Amino acid sequence: MGNKNFLSVVVPVYNGGWCLGQCLAGIQRSSYREYELIVVDNGSTDNSVAIAQAHGALVAHCPGPSGPGAARNTGVKLATGQILLFVDADVVVHNDVLNRVVARFIEDTELAAVFGSYDDSPPAKNFLSQYKNLLHHYVHQQANNRATTFWGGCGAIRKDVFVNVGGFDQEKYPTPSIEDIELGDRMHRLGYRIWLDKGLQATHLKEWRWKSLLRAEILYRAIPWSRLIHERQGLVNDLNLKLSHRASAAVAGLFLAMLPLTPVFPPLAYGCLFLASIFLLLNRDLFVFFLRRRGVLFSAVTVPMHGFYYIYSGVTFVLVWLSYALHLR
């Protein structure tokens, strides 16, 4: 296992001076020591390159900013390892991550890719950051181990598989988007086996604010993901596309439509209460998870927040579906 030609760690960065040092230090604290570290600068104007060099990383340059897909593809071209581990610059991997990745691929020679999740201890204390991080953690921890997608924040792929499938689609996704989800879907459709290792965890350093959250959630995820679903003509019953999640989106949307009408037709209030009860029932395990991790107040506030999440996700999906149905694209 002591072979630097086996594992290459690729870290894309764009103006990540505020977090890159923590990311690289986390990798270097790993219990697995034999790896090559490649940082791909995506046109940064801060001190990201200097930080990478100070940590002894091989620094590659990608004309940018051109998105993490292009940056990761650039890093792979320089990688000598048989296994490629992608780590985002705002992620700090747990000490056992590299070792778990290497052991997984050695033990299972047919495995094409493996990925993990954020942990449940985000350092940013504001509500949005806690909610988003814990939601990601919960969804991945409840998902099927046999995956149909991929996550580039902390995920590894055999280099020969990566090359065979054509890598990240940097032309279709020139900005941070669902380039990792699309890659995983493409791999799955080609018959490659992907594994979600729930013990493979990392700390997410990002602090979410409303503007950055809505931009990322709607423009960079909901819209392109909805398009991908329509293009590939199928929904998988996993992660945040489970049947209960689709039902939750429908219930939240119906609740929002009925609520403004209750002053005009008061009996609709009973319908709203019924829908709210159904929503709580559909998401009870998640809200119990929030309760156990962060207490009563936090859990209570996540109820309307999660309803809002389903509403903007559902509306986006419907609008994209209409654009396809009416040939508006």
User: What is the spatial distance between Cα 290 and Cα 303, in angstroms, rounded to a whole number?
Assistant: 10
Contact (Cβ atoms closer than 8 angstroms) between residue 176 and residue 220: yes
The pLDDT tens digits for 103-158 are: 999 999 999 999 999 999 999 999 999 999 999 999 999 999 999 999 999 999 99
Residue 190 CB coordination number (10 Å):
11
pLDDT band, residue 241 (cuts 50/70/90): low
Report pLDDT for 1.
41
User: What is the spatial distance between Cα 73 and Cα 87, in angstroms, rounded to a whole number?
Assistant: 13
The pLDDT tens digits for 289-298 are: 999 999 999 9
User: What is the spatial distance between Cα 39 and Cα 46, in angstroms, rounded to a whole number?
Assistant: 14
pLDDT band, residue 226 (cuts 50/70/90): confident
Report pLDDT for 5.
77
On the question of pLDDT at 234 being above 70, the answer is no
User: What is the spatial distance between Cα 9 and Cα 84, in angstroms, rounded to a whole number?
Assistant: 6
Average pLDDT over residues 79-91: 98
Percentage, residues of the chain above pLDDT 70: 95
pLDDT band, residue 235 (cuts 50/70/90): low
Average pLDDT over residues 77-89: 97
User: What is the spatial distance between Cα 225 and Cα 281, in angstroms, rounded to a whole number?
Assistant: 26
Residue 249 has which token pair? 């989106």
Q: What is the average pLDDT score of the chain? A: 93
Nearest residue to 74 (alpha-carbon basis) of 41, 101, 50: 41
C-alpha to C-alpha distances, 327 to 156, 313, 320, nearest whole angstrom: 38, 21, 10
Say if residue 266 is preceded by a cis peptide, omega within 30 of 0.
Answer: no
Report pLDDT for 232.
78
- Within a 13 Å sphere around the CA of 81, how many CA atoms are in the beta-carbon half? 26
The pLDDT tens digits for 171-209 are: 999 999 999 999 999 999 999 999 999 999 999 999 999
The pLDDT tens digits for 7-65 are: 999 999 999 999 999 999 999 999 899 999 999 999 999 999 999 999 999 999 997 67
The pLDDT tens digits for 247-258 are: 999 999 999 999
pTM given for the model: 0.93
CATH top-level class for 7-208? alpha beta
Percentage, residues of the chain above pLDDT 90: 84
User: What is the spatial distance between Cα 227 and Cα 68, in angstroms, rounded to a whole number?
Assistant: 20
Average pLDDT over residues 240-251: 84
